[in-house]
Structure 1
Amino acid sequence: MLERYFRPFEQGRSLQEQLRENLLQAILDGALPPGEALPSSRELSKLLAVSRNTVVLVYDKLVQDSFLIPSDRRGYFINEKFLRQQLNVSIPPRPKHLFERPDHAPDWEARLQLQPSAMKAIVKPRNWREYRYPFIYGQVEHDEQTTARWRDCARIAASGAHMRSWVDDQVMQDDALLVEQIIQRVLPRRGIKAGAEEILITVGTQSSLYMLSCLLGRKGQPVGLENPGYVDARNILQLAGCNLRPLRIDRQGLVVDEQLRGCEMIFCTPSHQSPTGVTLPVYRRMALLERAREDDFLVIEDDYDSEQNYLGGNHPALKSFDDSGRVIYLGSLTKGLLPGIRLGFIVAAPELIHELRALRRYQYRHPPANNQRILALFLAMGHYDAHIRRLRDSLSRKWQCISSALSEHLPACQTSGMAGGSALWVEGPAGFDAWQLQRLAAKRGVLIEPGDIHFLGEERPQHFFRLGYGAIAEALIEPGIAALGAAWEEMQRSALAP
C-alpha cells in the first residue's frame, strides 16, 4: 500500500524534502493507519534505497512539526489529534483505492457542458529532459547566467519599496513598472507604439486567447486559422463554438486572397508561422490589413516567437502597421526566457483592453504581482536585452548546425522557414510516416514531434514533423540528427523487407 506513494526521486531536489512530501501525502490519504507504527527507519531506507540517516532526519522533523509521535521501542505513530485539530481532516479507518468511485457519485459525463480533454492537443513527454537528444519545441536550454540574474531580481523585489508594490491584492491593476518597461523596451523592437491603456498583462498566450474568445467569439462565428497552424488557438476557439475555416499557407506564410472573405476574425502568426516557421513578407502584411479594413474583420497577431532572423533584418510586427485598431497583438515575455514563469501581454484598442481587464478580474484578478515586479526589474536592469542577445547568438549557431546536419543525414527531407526562430518544420517524401520515425528515434534517445496534429480537418498529412532546437545543447545537435538519420534508415529497410 505504501509503495505507490514513493515516486522516483527527482534530480535537483533534496531527498529529505521529497520523502517528507510523500510521507505526508500517505498520512493524509489514510494509507498509514493511526494505530499502527510507521515502518522503521531501517525498513524504509531499505525500501527506498536511501540513507537511513535521511529517513531518521525526516521522521524527527515530522515529530517536531507534530505530525508524528515517537514511542520508545515501538517506533513512530501518527498524531491523529493534531491532524484533526490543526488540519481539519479525519483519518479514514481504512484506505480506499485512489481511483475508487464513491457511492452515488454524480454522472459527470451528463453534467459536463464541455469536454476539453477529448480535444486533440500537443502532448509533450514530462520526462523530455531524460532524452539525450530532445528536439522539442517550446522549452529552453538551461542558462545559469539568466537564472542567476532572475534570482538577483527576485531578491531585490522582496525588499523595500519593491515589496510594497506586490504584497497587496492589485485586483484589476498590472505592475506599473512592468507596463512601462514593455512600452519602452519590448514594443519598440517590434515597431509598436502603445500607451498603458492599450496593454494588459496575462499569464501567457493561451490565457490571452481564452479571454479574447470569451469576449469576441460566439457559436457559429466564422474564424480563419492558418492550416497547418497553432493547435491551442484552434482548440480554444472551438471551445467558444466558433466555426473554424482552414486558411491556406505557402512558403511565404498566409495566402492573402479571397479565402479570407466572410471571416469575422483571423488568427495568424506573421513573424514565424506556427508551425512552419516562414515569415510573412511586408507586402502581404499590408494586403492583410487592407482586406481587414475592406471586409471589416479583426486580426489576432500571435508574435509568440518575435522575429530573430539570423540572416537579414527583421520585419516590424503586423500591429506596427495597424492604423485602424483592428489588430490585436499577443506577446510573450517569458517563452524564450523561463517558460515556467508564464507571463505575456495583449496590445489592443483601449475599449477592448478595458473589457479584457474586467473579464480577467473574474478569472484570476491579475498575474502574480511578485513575478510581474521581478520581470520589470529584469527588464529595467538590462538583463532581458542581454539574454536576448545571447539567445540570438546561440540559436543562430544551432540553426546552422541543425541545417547542415539535416542535409547530411536526412537528405530526402525538406525544411521550411526563415533562418530564425527555434524550430524547423520538416517535410518527408510522400508515404512517409512521421509517427513511425518518432517511435524508432525514441529508442535511440531522440525526441521529435510529428506534425499531423497541426492540421485542421479529418485528413491530416503524416509526412511532416517538427524539430525544436532551443532546449538541446549545440554539441548534441549533430550526433542527435545522425541518430535520427539511423532511425530513418531503419524505417526504410523495414519498408523494403519482404
Structure 2
Amino acid sequence: MSSKMSGTMWNQFFQRWAGNGLSLQGQIRQMLVSAILDGQLPLELPIPSSREMAAQLDVARNTVVIAYQQLVDEGYLVSRERKGYFVNPNILAGRVAPPKTQAEAVGYSPEWSRRFRFRPTLQRNIRKRADWQRFPYPFVYGQFDAGLFPTADWRECCMKTLSVLEIGEWAQDMILRDDDSLVQQIRTRVLPRRGVWADDDEIVITVGTQQALYLLADLLVSTDTPVGMENPGYPDARNIFSSRSERIVDLKVDEGGLVVDAALGGCDYVYVTPSHQCPTTVTMPLERREALLRMADEADFILIEDDYESENRTEGEAIPALKSLDRSGRVIYIGSLSKTLAPGVRLGYVVGPAEVIRELRGARRLNLRHPTAYMQRVFALFLSLGHYDALLRRLSHAHQERARALAAALAARLPELRPVPISGGSSCWVEGPTWLDAEALALAAEPHGVLIEPGNVFFSASTPTRNCLRLGFSAIATERIEEGVERLAIALRELAPRG
C-alpha cells in the first residue's frame, strides 16, 4: 500500500473486528496488528494520530491512546517525536515477501486421488449446520444451551488455572503424561458413579470420544479384523472402524439395545452403546449385559463400551456400566467429559487394562502428544469444586422437563410419528410413516425455523432406512418445543401424499 488509508477505509477495516467480544481497545489492536502483519501499512507514512483515529472510528480518544501505547510496548509501532506513530520495520524483518507473479507451472500436478488410502469426505456423516444457533427451533443433538452453561463457575476455574503456580504445571510438554489431578478426579469422582474402579495407569485422557475410537482402531484393527457395529448405530464409530477394516459386521438392535445372538461370535471387537443406544436411546437391561459379557468370554471378543449419555437418566435406577460387571478385562470403556458441559471443550477418556492404556498413550503421542494440559487442569478444578456435579443436576432437571414437553407435543401435533419413549439422554428417536423421506422433511422444515436430524445416516449403507429421524432437545428451551413441533407438523403435511 503506497498511501495512507482514508478515514472511510479505516472505519470499514475496523468493522471486521466488531462484535468479536473484545473491548474497543482490543478491537483496535487487532485491526492494527492485522494491517501491519499483512503489509497493508506503508513504513514511511505515519498512521492516523490518536485524535484522527478516534474521530474516524467514533470512539474515545483515550481508548486509541491506550491501544497505541500497548502496540508500542509490544514492538509493533514506534513513536517519533513531533511526527507520530509509525510501523516498526523490525516487526516485519525476516518475512518472505509474497511472489509478485505466479510462477509458471513446471511438470504435472500430482494425481492426489490415486494416492489417498481412503476418502473420508465420501463417508456418510451426520451433517450439522454451522449456523444452527440462528434457528428458533433447533432440535439438534450434541449442542449446548448457552442459558444453562455455568459461565461464572467455568470462568473461575479458568482464572485460577492461570495463576503463576498453575502455569508452571500445565505449560510444560507432558509428552506421554496426563494431568495427574484430572486422572485422580476421573478415578475417584466420575467413574464410581458408573460402578467403575480403575488405577491411574488404567486411564488415558483423549480429545473426546472421537479420538478415543480412532486410537483404538489404529492400535487394534487391521484390514481383515471383524468389527461388530450396532445397526442403527453411531456413524462416526462406523466410519472410523471401516477406515481400518474391510470386515464390518452389522449387528441387530431392538428395544433392549444390541441383540446378543450368533452374529457376535464372528467378531474380534464389538462396539456397543448400552446406556443409551445411539441413536434409538434404549437402555440395555442388566440381564442382557450379563449375557453379552458371558458370550464375549466364550467367543473371545473384546467389547468397546461407549458409555453414551449415562449420566442423564430420567426413569428408574441407573444400570451399572458393562465395565463394572467385567471380570475378565474384556471391556474397554470410553467416556466423555465435555459432552455434558460443552462439546467444543473436547475432553474424554479411555479406561482399560494397563497394557492397553500404555500402548494407547504411545499411539496418542504419535497423533498429538496429549490433549491441551491447560484444559485438563481447568476441568480437574471444575470437578474438584463440585461444579460438574451441580451442572449434571441442573441439566437432568432441564432435560426431564424438555423430554416431557417434547413427548406431549409429538402426541398432540404429530400422532403419525412413533417416538421411542424417552428414558434419559437428550434426544428422541422417531419412526415416521413408510412414505416419509426424513431428509426431505429436514429440508422442508428449515424455512419454518426448525432443524431436525434425518436418521438414514445411522443405518449401514446396505440397510437403508429413510423414514426415521432424531430430535435433540439439549439446545432448545422448553417453551419453544411445542411451537417447534407444530411447525414441524406443517412441514410434514406439505410432504404428505395426496388422496
Give the TM-score range, shorter chain: 0.7 to 0.9
Judged with a 3 Å threshold, the aligned counterparts in structure 2 of structure 1 residues 61 and 449 are, in CA distance, closer, same or farther, namely farther
Aligned 8 A contact 1:70 1:77 in 2? yes
- For 2:330, give the aligned amino acid: R
Distance 1:38 1:248, change over 3 A: farther
Q: Would the alpha carbon gap of residues 283 and 203 (structure 1) be closer, same or farther in structure 2, given more than 3 Å must change?
A: same
Out of 252, 255, 260, which is 1:256 matched to? 260
1:220 corresponds to 2:228: no
Q: Counterparts of 2:121 and 2:354 in 1: how far apart (Å)?
A: 34
Correspondence 1:49-128 to 2 at 5 A: 51=58, 64=72, 81-85=89-93, 88-92=94-98, 94=100, 105-128=109-132
Q: Give the counterpart letter for 2:92 in structure 1.
A: R
Q: Percent identity?
A: 43
The aligned residue for residue 366 of structure 1 is: 370
* Deviation of 1:315 (Å): 0.4
Counterpart Cα distance in 2 of 1:120 and 1:57: 53
Distance 1:107 1:329, change over 3 A: same
Q: How does 1:228-377 map to 2 (within 5 A)?
A: 228-377=232-381
Select the residue among 384, 390, 393 that pairs with 1:389. 393
Which amino acid in 2 is paired with 1:359? Answer: A
Map 1:172-187; keep pairs closer than 5 Å.
172-187=176-191
Give the deviation of 1:312 after TM superposition.
1.1
Conservation of the 8 A alpha-carbon contact between 1:183 and 1:193: yes
Structure 1 residues 56 and 374: CA distance shift in structure 2, 3 A: closer
How far apart, in 2, do the equivalents of 1:306 and 1:61 lie?
52
Cα 1:271/1:27, change in 2 over 3 Å: same
Q: Are 1:491 and 2:498 counterparts?
A: no
| 8 Å contact kept, 1:28–1:91 | no
* 3-state SS in 1 of match to 2:361: helix
Query: Aligned letter for 1:331?
Result: G
Measured in 1, the distance between the counterparts of 2:172 and 2:491 equals 55
Q: TM-score, with normalisation over the residues of structure 1?
A: 0.86
Of 134, 138, 145, which residue of structure 2 is paired with 1:141?
145
The partner residue of 1:194 within 190, 195, 198 is 198
Q: Distance in 2 between matches of 1:461 and 1:490?
A: 21
**Match among 480, 483, 486 for residue 479 of structure 1:** 483
CA distance in 2, matches of 1:330, 1:451: 24
Question: In structure 1, how many angstroms separate the alpha carbons of the residues matched to 2:106 and 2:435?
Answer: 51
- Quick one: structure 1 residues 38 and 455, their matched pair in 2 at CA, closer, same or farther if it must change by over 3 Å? farther
Paired AA for residue 247 in structure 1: L
> How far apart, in 1, do the equivalents of 2:475 and 2:40 lie?
39
Q: CA deviation at 1:52?
A: 7.3
Once the two structures are superposed, what CA deviation does each residue of 1:283-310 show, in whole Å capped at 9, x if it has no partner? 1111111111111000100012114221
CA contact (8 A) 1:224 1:263 kept: yes
* Structure 1 position 160, deviation (Å): 5.6
Task: Tell me whether 1:434 sits opposite 2:438 in the alignment.
Answer: yes
Distance in 1 between residues matched to 2:36 and 2:207, nearest whole Å = 34
AA aligned opposite 2:498? L
Matches within 5 A, 1:408-487: 408-487=412-491
**Alpha-carbon distance change, 372 to 63 in structure 1, aligned in 2, over 3 angstroms:** closer
- Structure 1 contact 427–465 (Cα < 8 Å) conserved: yes
For 1:182 and 1:193, how far apart are their aligned partners in 2? 10
SS at match of 2:305: strand
CA distance in 1 between counterparts of 2:458 and 2:18 reads 35
If the length of structure 2 is used for normalisation, what is the TM-score?
0.86
Query: In 2 relative to 1, CA 83–115 (structure 1 residues): closer, same or farther, beyond 3 Å?
Result: farther
Which amino acid is 1:84 matched to? L
Deviation, 1:144, is 6.0
SS at match of 1:336: helix
Give the whole-Å Cα distance in 2 for the aligned partners of 1:239 and 1:37.
56
Checking the alignment, whether the CA contact within 8 Å between 2:17 and 2:27 is kept in structure 1 is no
Q: Which residue of 2 aligns with 1:152?
A: 156
Structure 1 residue matching 2:124: 3-state secondary structure:
coil
Kept in 2: contact 1:276–1:417 (CA 8 A) = no
Farther off after superposition, 415-424 or 255-264: 415-424
Query: Structure 1, unaligned stretches of length 5 or more?
Result: none
Superposed displacement of residue 9, structure 1: 5.8
Question: Which AA in structure 1 matches 2:193?
Answer: R
Q: 1:66 to 1:207 in 2, by over 3 A?
A: same
State the shift of 1:247 in Å. Answer: 0.8
Higher mean C-alpha deviation, range 372-381 or range 55-64: 55-64
Inter-CA distance 159–78: structure 2 relative to 1 (3 Å threshold): closer
Quick one: structure 1 residues 24 and 164, their matched pair in 2 at CA, closer, same or farther if it must change by over 3 Å? closer
